[in-house]
Structure 1
Amino acid sequence: MDWKQEIVLCRDVAAIVGPVGGRAATTPASGRLLYDFVLHNRCGRVLELGFAHGNSTCYMAAALDELGGGSILTIDREAARLREPNIIELLAATGLAKYVEPIFAQSSYNWELLGLLERQRDGHTTRPLFDFVFVDGAHTWETDGLAFVLADKLLRPGGWILFDDIHWTIAASKAASGRRPTTVIDPAERVPQVGRVFALLVMQHPNYERFEVHGNWGWARKRRTRQEEALPEQAVSRLYETHS
């Protein structure tokens, strides 16, 4: 693999999507981490829950392009279609649309996962599909707690799941956007709800290990079977070392 060519490809994507979305969007530095993770762990099937403009999607799709194939199923609300630019336009601009299936859900992504689970049903079990799951959507306990339960059934043994914004709170988001708080503060708005999902559901799950927190990102690996233990992978901690 030509490392220099790989860097140029990622920079090409960053030049297009980097300015999009402002502070809330995936930065070029974070995009490069996603790109390198997908590339070096050869994550051929990716599930993304929440895409907004599609910045993160494009970085991961660029890695699939470097690998020579793969697919990303990415889901967000119908309102994401109205973003300027939207994911369709960014994928067209980067030339990476062939790797991505974007779904604009009328309800939450959990309803779309219901249909996917039904299609993957095999008797009393689910046939897993994905090597990597990236959760960056609702940011609430109710939605993302269930999303983890559903995504777990679709994640292959040895696959990784990543949660964005594990320290994010609704209250801090309102303050950052200049919105005045209501007279009565809902206690839930002060709770980092994605962080609670990660701490109470993911880290306590018997089938997960290799927990790592870097900034606002929380990583976990689904335990491998014996046959998969010999397969190579690039540890998340090592990935961050190469970017420091």
Structure 2
Amino acid sequence: MANSGDLSIDSMTLYQFTNNWFDTVAKGLWDQFMARYAPARILEIGSYEGASACYLIDTLAPHHPVELHCIDSWEGGLEHQAEGVSPADMAAVESRFHHNVTQSAGQHAGRAKVVVHKGYSDECLARLIAEGKKGYFDFVYVDGSHQAADVLADAVLGFKLLKVGGVIAFDDYLWSEQLPTGKDPLRCPKPAIDAFVNLNCRKLDVLSAPLYQLYVRKLAD
């Protein structure tokens, strides 16, 4: 993880990002998806520094009001712990998230409602369901834990919160952790995403897209 001296700060927006993961992997395709689907109610599982959240606000809010729910524990995953990322590092990530999202929403006053849910995704998602938000969201982005069991829980609960006709996007479909013993199928997203898609094959369509991310459209509850 980069330290504070490695921050890339856009002089126009004053966003603070320490990597370009989102721009490299998702932005080009999202430009097409957002133009086509124009989601207004969005659920993001895994927010990190807020790059995708800021993109969604900056891209959509000029055209229509946006309600964005962001879920993250800001504790980091097992892979972060293995890399020696400390709680202080993650606290800095959380601070940059709030700075960046505040900057983005502030540029679109009254058109971007951001709701932050700090905690573990399964608990936060279950709470949203209990609050009556089944079928509430137009777009769900799953980019939280990379552990297969966690990804499966995010997929199942996120799908309940997605409206019929909405899109759910899974980041890191082909990501795997490089372990001394090789790949562990329980420590990567793909087996969980595949299981979810196969078990719900009559309720969704897999959309055509480069496979580092996988996109499905909900056809039925």
Do both share a fold (TM > 0.5)?
A: yes
- The structure with the larger Rg is 1
CA distance in 2, matches of 1:215, 1:163: 10
CA contact (8 A) 2:44 2:143 kept: yes
CA contact (8 A) 2:147 2:186 kept: no
1:22 to 19, 22, 42: 19
The match for 1:158 is 165
Cα-to-partner distance string for 1:169-203 (whole Å, 9 max, x where unaligned): 121xx6xxxxxx4xxx2752x66731222222124
- Cα RMSD for the two superposed structures: 2.9
**Where do 4+ consecutive residues of structure 1 move more than 4 Å?**
12-17
CA contact (8 A) 2:42 2:138 kept: yes
Could you state the TM-score of these two structures normalised by the residue count of structure 1?
0.68
Amino acid at match of 2:18: G
The yes-or-no answer on 1:87 pairing with 2:97 is yes
The match for 1:115 is 127
CA distance in 1, matches of 2:198, 2:182: 26
Could you state the TM-score of these two structures normalised by the residue count of structure 2?
0.75
Instruction: From the two aligned structures, give the one with the greater helix fraction.
Output: 1
2:143 to 133, 136, 142: 136
CA distance in 2, matches of 1:210, 1:49: 20
CA contact (8 A) 2:140 2:169 kept: yes
CA distance in 2, matches of 1:145, 1:84: 25
CA distance in 2, matches of 1:128, 1:66: 25
CA contact (8 A) 1:53 1:86 kept: yes
Alignment length, in residue pairs? 193
The match for 1:40 is 36
CA contact (8 A) 1:35 1:60 kept: no
Q: List alignment gaps of at least 5 residues for structure 1.
A: 1-11, 121-125, 175-180, 226-244
**1:142 aligned counterpart, secondary structure:** helix
CA distance in 1, matches of 2:11, 2:116: 18
The match for 1:218 is 214
CA contact (8 A) 2:46 2:143 kept: yes
